[in-house]
Amino acid sequence: MSAPPRPAATSVPAAANAPTYDPSEEPFEFRGSFKKDGTFLGWGSSRHGDIQASVEIRNGRVVSAQIAQCLTRYSCDVIDKLPPEVVARQSADVDYVSGATESADAFYDAIVDALAKAK
Amino acid sequence: MIRSIAVMGTIATVHAVTSSSDRPPAGEDDVEARVEAALDWFRRIEACCTRFDPCSELMQLSAQIGAAVPVSAMLYEIVQFAIAVAEDSGGAFDPTIGRNMETRGFNREHRTGHVIRTPLAKADGVSYRDVALDPDARTVALRRPLILDLGAVAKGFAVDMAARELRPLANFAINAGGDLYLGGHNPAGAPWTVGIRHPRRDGALIASLRLSDTAVCTSGDYERTSANSTGHHILDPRTGTSPDSVASVTVVAPTTMAADALATAAFVLGPREGLELLARQGVEGLIVTPALERFETQGMASACVCGD
């Protein structure tokens, strides 16, 4: 997705897709539903092992979600494309994939665990 | 603009394609508001239909056995659709769960991170025939002690409601754990490209589709298993066993609710009967067997970009 023209107003709705972060311009002006700001960690598990996610909350909104630790038997390469999807789009040769993945489930559980701590 | 939330046991993503150079179809504020409104449908429908909150409308309904209980228009729509698919598939799809499954520890709160999906086991012989609907009075009566598992249907319904919210924007995508609705075009101005997960090779695709203004869902035997179960999570409600003639079913349908429920039903029915069900319902589908044989409806071939 190409970046939309940046409006002069303070709200920049498509900030998640902006190529660079400009600290003078807070990307999310509106307040999200999470009570605490900061970085929170959570765990999720699958048959193949455990995944730890880290979620950053700013202004009550999720601004990033990442795999913090991957303790699965296989590498987390399979879900490398997932974390950005929490705040931005999934990009690959295809726009989207139909059919859930087990590692994605574990990542979801880890995200939920982390988000519960920001409530 | 893309937003994701953790909801309904999955990650729901709403993607509104915003115009880069042309005049946008609506003001940016409108895009923002519509994306938020679309995500709100997921939260609202989860609150109504969750089995994990005794105060949800669904669980309040399950607490009143034998009575015709007036329900909200939203819950009625979801229940009546689930029952309609159950009837048309001869019970291969069945949203009812015996209550004694719930008392055996299959009722843990999924938001703690310990997710357990309740198998659709007919432990005490209940079925969709024990659910009576009255469309005029908009009531649901449970004739025997049972609980409705509306999980997948409710998730599909949420995607469809979110799609309705985004329709004025024309170009958008909604992804709820691999259940997709694609509106209009992708950011490149072409129909959305949707990969179908390979049922046996992690990270690989078995086909890809070019789709616009339609829903697509895939049910696979690789899906999440319950913590203390050895088989995959799709059970044949009629027998309580795991079907083994299908590895995955992909359905392309006008609504996500139909695509999800029909994919599950076709999975249970197997390649031949499953394909018949899809054809009868006027939807397109691809059924892949564990030996990777493909069975597909006639219209599927035209959407399929094979050899990918």
The residues spanned by each domain of chain B are 52-149, 191-307
Averaged pLDDT for residues A93-114: 74
User: How many Cβ atoms from other residues are within 10 Å of residue B144's Cβ?
Assistant: 16
ipTM at complex level? 0.80
Distances (CA, A) of B307 to A59, A105, B204, B205, B304: 46, 28, 12, 10, 9
Q: Give B128-150 pLDDT, tens digit per residue.
A: 999 999 999 999 999 998 889 89
pLDDT band at A91 (very low <50, low <70, confident <90, very high): very low
Q: To the nearest 10°, report the CA torsion of B249, B252, B255, B259.
A: -10
Domain boundaries B52-149, corresponding CATH code: 1.10.3980.10
Q: What backbone torsions phi and psi does residue B69 show, to the nearest 5 degrees?
A: -100, 125
Please state, rounded to an integer, the average pLDDT across all residues of chain A: 64
Low-confidence winner among A30-39, A71-80, B245-254 (lowest mean pLDDT):
A71-80
Cβ atoms within 10 A of the Cβ of A12, count? 18
pLDDT at A72: 65
Contact list in A for residue B193 (CB cut-off 8 A) is 93-96
Q: What distance in Å separates residue A10's CA from the closest CA in chain B?
A: 12
- A56 or B78, which is more confident? B78
Half-sphere exposure of A49 (CA within 13 A, CB side): 10
Residue to test with chain B: of A28, A80, A98, most B Cβ within 10 A: A98
What pLDDT, on a 0 to 100 scale, did the predictor assign at position B303?
A: 65
Q: How large a percentage of chain A has pLDDT more than 90?
A: 3
pTM: 0.74
Q: Do B193 and A95 touch (CB under 8 A)?
A: yes
Reported as a pLDDT band with limits 50, 70 and 90, residue B285 is very high
Average pLDDT over residues B148-154: 89
Check CB contact under 8 Å for A4 and B2: no
CB count in 10 Å sphere of residue A35: 9
> A103 pLDDT exceeds 90?
no
Angle at B11 between CA B197 and CA B287, to 5 degrees: 25
Q: Does A101 contact B208 at a Cβ distance shorter than 8 Å?
A: no
Do B196 and A86 count as a contact with CB atoms less than 8 A apart? no
Pick the residue with more confidence: B101 or B286?
B286
Span A56-73, mean pLDDT?
75
Among residues B156, B154, B177, B160, the alpha carbon closest in space to that of B49 is found at B154
Percent helix / strand / coil, chain B, rounded to 5:
35, 25, 40
Gap between the Cα atoms of B213 and B217, Å rounded = 14
Q: What does the buried/exposed string (b/e) look like for A42-73 if buried means 16 or more CB atoms within 10 Å of the residue's CB?
A: bbbbbebeebbbbbbbbeebbbbbbbbebebe
Distance CA B4, CA A21 (A): 20
Lowest pLDDT segment from A2-16, B153-167, B183-197, B292-306: A2-16
pLDDT(A45) > 50: yes
Conformation bin of residue B294: beta by default, left when phi > 0, alpha when psi is -120 to 50: beta
CA B8-B180-B14 angle, to 5 degrees, is 70
Mean pLDDT of chain B, nearest integer: 83
Range B191-307 has CATH code 3.20.20.70: no
Question: What pLDDT sits at residue A14?
Answer: 42
Mutate to test the interface with B, among A28, A79, A95 (most CBs of B within 10 A): A95
| pLDDT score, position A47 | 67
Using CA atoms in the order A55, B160, A94, A14, what is the torsion angle rounded to 10 degrees?
-50
Question: First vs last Cα of chain A: how many Å apart?
Answer: 31
pLDDT band at B226 (very low <50, low <70, confident <90, very high): very low
On the question of pLDDT at B302 being above 60, the answer is: yes
**Cβ–Cβ below 8 Å for A85 and B32:** no
Q: What is the per-residue pLDDT across B172-218, written as a single tens digit (0 to 9) for each?
A: 999 998 899 999 999 889 999 998 888 888 767 888 899 999 999 99
C-alpha separations of B201 from A88, B170, B198, B207, B244 in Å: 26, 34, 6, 12, 18
Cα–Cα distance, B83 to B75 (Å, whole number): 12
User: CA-to-CA distance for A71 and A41, rounded, in angstroms?
Assistant: 15
> Phi and psi (nearest 5°) for B199?
-70, -10
Measured between CB atoms, which of B4, B6, B224 is closest to A87?
B4
CB contact under 8 A, B18 and A1: yes
Q: Please list the helix, strand and coil fractions of chain A in percent, rounded to the nearest 5, in that order.
A: 25, 30, 50
pLDDT reading at B65 higher than 60: yes
